[in-house]
Amino acid sequence: MNEKPEHFIVDGKRLDGRRVDELRSIKIEIGTLDRADGSCYLEWGNNKILAAVYGPRELHPRHRQKMTRSVVQFRYNMASFSVDERIRPGPSRRSIEISKVSREAFEPVVFTKFFPKTSIDVFVEVLQAGAGTRTAGINAASLALADAGIPMRGLVSACAVGKVDGELVLDLMKEEDNYGEADMPVVMTAGGQITLLQMDGHLTTEEFYRALELAKTGCDKVYELQRQALIKKYSEEYTAEIEDEYIEDAAPEGDADE
Ligand code: ADP
């Protein structure tokens, strides 16, 4: 594990050169996996995350089925090679907790009533961890759900705010996460409705409200990147479909494969 740095902010810049309200760089690819109904690969700083969605599909065992709605199931998993020291494979207290809160972050936005007796299964695999894996996983899962065509009130977007050297900072990096004074992951809809809020450490009431504002600016930026990624994926597919149709229409009769 890294040593605790003496200062986290020097001349207004953080250890990785960011301003206090700046996000780490984000890269998004939608539809990475062929066999999932929806998928997303997301890089956020040093995090590398894959999200896959299956369903709605019949839920087994059947006694777990709900007659009036679908059941959202969420599994967050860290690959054993995702951190410096090998992680023991299988569920841990931490992964069970993150799976639970992540599922709860989606419950208010997924229209589960459309699909009684089914499950919607979300898998988040952390291939490389670098602080903020739960928020990165939720952002990827949000896009994988949209890619699977699951009806939702909207996307959710996630971002953490923390406190280091007595200052609020957006999107914690590893040292800030490990040694900071507070860590507050927030998930919200585009309209600013909070679907998950956790907090580790201490903030005063005034700091808490400022932290929430800062989290909103982070979630807004993430939302915009998510939206752009969806537009890119689906406008490219749409263009390809039009081109295919054009080629079929333009082919002389009798040339087409029978
Ligand atoms: P989050 O990843 O959502 O910030 P935590 O605050 O629990 O969740 O973890 C912070 C960071 O600590 C992770 O992103 C990861 O880089 C690191 N970490 C978590 N669990 C382990 C572990 N078992 N071994 C080594 N590093 C870990």
Q: How far is the CA of 31 from the centre of ligand 1 (A)?
A: 26
The CA distance from 70 to 247, in Å, is 41
Q: How far is the CA of 178 from the centre of ligand 1 (A)?
A: 8
CA angle, 38 then 159 then 128, to 5°: 60
Ligand 1 near 165 CB (within 6 A)? no
Q: How far is the CA of 119 from the centre of ligand 1 (A)?
A: 28
Q: Over its length of 258 residues, how does the chain's per-residue pLDDT go in tens digits?
A: 568 999 999 999 999 999 999 999 999 999 999 999 999 999 999 999 999 999 999 999 999 999 999 999 999 999 999 999 999 999 999 999 999 999 999 999 999 999 999 999 999 999 999 999 999 999 999 999 999 999 999 999 999 999 999 999 999 999 999 999 999 999 999 999 999 999 999 999 999 999 999 999 999 999 999 999 999 999 887 787 777 777 777 766 654 444
Domains along the chain? Answer: 25-250 (3.30.230.70)
Predicted TM-score (pTM) of this structure: 0.93
